[in-house]
């Protein structure tokens, strides 16, 4: 029986920059850090990738965990130009529950975070989408 989502993982080319965003701006704290150098056959099997080498950092905020990966191997493809549209197949966004969406929006906007729009009122919630430094979409949502 599945009990809950434990974490969501993001791959990045710049672990320090993405960790600074999630910890410094969003309030996550580092739980653990792991590095391996192409010598972890079991990890390679799980990921279905040969000869992986990476550093991972598990971050936590309340009951939510986000794991950041920076791979050294295998070689990374060049990043796509522009932001990945949210209608593309795959994970579209992470959603963060907030007490005051307008205050969080203004705080993050002042820190240079890009948003698609100011918070919108949907009757049962107020919400907006923003982008982390890698262009991943996150939602700020205040339930009414």
pLDDT at residue 75 in the model: 85
Average pLDDT over residues 31-42: 93
CA 144 – CA 22 distance, rounded (Å): 25
Q: Which residues is 120 bridged to in the sheet?
A: 127
Domain that holds residue 33: 7-73
Whether residue 93 is predicted with pLDDT greater than 80 in this model: the reply is yes
Give yes or no: residues 64 and 98 share one domain: no
Give yes or no: residues 58 and 98 share one domain: no
Q: Supply angle C-alpha 35, 5, 8, rounded to 5.
A: 40
Average pLDDT over residues 119-142: 95
Give yes or no: residues 107 and 61 share one domain: no
Whether residue 1 is predicted with pLDDT greater than 80 in this model: the reply is no
**Which burial class, exposed, middle or buried, applies to 63 when counting CB atoms under 10 A from its CB (0-12, 13-18, 19+)?**
exposed
Tokens encoding 106:
């203004």
């Amino acid at each position: 029986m599945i009990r809950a989502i434990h974490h969501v993982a993001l791959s990045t080319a710049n672990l320090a920059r993405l960790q600074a965003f999630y910890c410094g701006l969003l309030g996550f704290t580092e739980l653990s850090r792991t590095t391996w150098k192409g010598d972890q056959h079991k990890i390679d099997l799980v990921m279905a990738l040969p000869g992986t080498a990476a550093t991972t950092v598990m971050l936590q905020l309340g009951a939510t965990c986000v794991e950041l990966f920076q791979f050294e191997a295998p070689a990374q493809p060049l990043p796509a130009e522009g932001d990945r549209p949210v209608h593309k197949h795959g994970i579209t966004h992470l959603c963060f529950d907030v007490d005051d969406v307008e205050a969080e929006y203004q705080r993050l906007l002042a820190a240079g975070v890009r948003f698609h729009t100011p918070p919108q009122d949907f009757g049962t919630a107020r919400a907006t989408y923003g982008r982390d430094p890698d262009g991943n979409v996150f939602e700020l949502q205040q339930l009414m």
